[in-house]
């Protein structure tokens, strides 16, 4: 039998198991439990933990590759296992969570089907993104500095951050902004906000996954190699700012990462066109006779 690296494989399986646990929490949303005094509070608890277990899956996904490279045990088996677990944690789990994040729309069957279609499209784009990565992936570490299209963990993080926001933004509004709002009113506002934003945002990140927009490898760019001391100071300042707005940190981190680089690509393309100037129209009539 072919030998495999045990520790990286266990970490990769931890990724898939976290995705499965996220699905189990999401499946409990909207279910009435006998004797539950506050079903809305239970749903908030399930939203938060479904989102966090998708983020835990991202941690396992980052560690398995790092351990495999550190121990020099990277293999084709590990790459295939990683893609299968990614399909669960960053494809199926977020797609199922999208169905719970969006509004029920019981009066309109069409809108309910539209939400289901967005979730199915998200899953399809994730699988296509993973397949394209497997085809384009090279063993050369220099080829891992940039991704073509939004990475599937980044897209899943966008959906997970909305679930976390949906679960406890009412408390965040009171603690962070010190707004003396009624908790029930804040909860209703949060629910309506996420219900509107989540289908649109899920559609956006799904299309970004299969786009050609270049995205940097953040962990490699931030932590790998030797850096100037100024880089360390910038990193510490970023950690300080995130700790100050920690209630909204997941949403800010993932959505800024997802949106900033397409905007940058459009801006750079516009500057390039201005620099080149308008191209002269072709001469269809040939040279003018003298």
State how far the Cα of 210 lies from the Cα of 132, in Å rounded to an integer: 9
Q: Is the pLDDT of residue 19 over 90?
A: yes
Which carries the bigger pLDDT value, residue 76 or residue 238? 76
Q: Is the pLDDT of residue 175 over 50?
A: no
* Chain length of the chain: 290
Band (246; pLDDT cuts 50, 70, 90): low
Residue ranges with strand state E in the chain:
146-148, 214-216
Question: Which two structure tokens, joined as six digits, stand for 143?
Answer: 């080829």
Tell me what pLDDT residue 2 has.
61
Band (267; pLDDT cuts 50, 70, 90): confident
C-alpha 55 chain-centroid distance: 9
State how far the Cα of 88 lies from the Cα of 23, in Å rounded to an integer: 9
Asked if 156 and 93 touch (Cβ cutoff 8 Å), the reply is yes
Band (174; pLDDT cuts 50, 70, 90): very low
**How large is the average pLDDT for residues 155-164?**
93
R_g over Cα of the chain: 23
């Amino acid at each position: 039998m072919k030998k495999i690296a045990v520790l990286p494989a266990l970490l990769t399986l931890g990724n898939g198991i976290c995705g499965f646990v996220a699905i189990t929490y999401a499946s409990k949303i909207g279910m009435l439990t006998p004797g539950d005094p506050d079903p809305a509070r239970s749903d908030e608890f399930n939203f938060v933990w479904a989102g966090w277990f998708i983020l835990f899956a991202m941690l396992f996904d980052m560690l398995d590759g790092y351990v495999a490279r550190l121990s020099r045990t990277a293999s084709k088996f590990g790459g295939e296992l990683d893609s299968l677990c990614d399909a669960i944690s960053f494809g199926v789990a977020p797609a199922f969570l999208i169905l719970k994040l969006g509004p029920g729309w019981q009066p309109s069957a069409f809108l309910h089907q539209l939400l289901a279609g967005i979730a199915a499209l998200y899953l399809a784009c994730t699988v296509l993104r993973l397949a394209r990565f497997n085809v384009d992936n090279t063993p050369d570490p220099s080829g891992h500095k940039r991704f073509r299209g939004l990475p599937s963990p980044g897209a899943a993080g966008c959906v997970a951050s909305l679930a976390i926001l949906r679960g406890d933004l009412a408390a965040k509004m009171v603690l962070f902004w010190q707004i003396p709002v009624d908790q029930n009113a804040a909860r209703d506002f949060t629910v309506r906000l996420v219900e509107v934003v989540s289908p649109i945002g899920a559609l956006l990140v799904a299309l970004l996954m299969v786009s050609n927009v270049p995205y940097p490898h953040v962990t490699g760019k931030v932590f790998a190699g030797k850096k100037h001391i100024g880089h360390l100071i910038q990193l510490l300042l970023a950690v300080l700012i995130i700790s100050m707005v920690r209630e909204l940190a997941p949403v800010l981190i993932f959505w800024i990462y997802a949106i900033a680089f397409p905007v940058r690509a459009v801006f750079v393309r516009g500057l390039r066109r201005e620099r080149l100037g308008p191209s002269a129209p072709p001469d269809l009539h040939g040279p003018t006779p003298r």
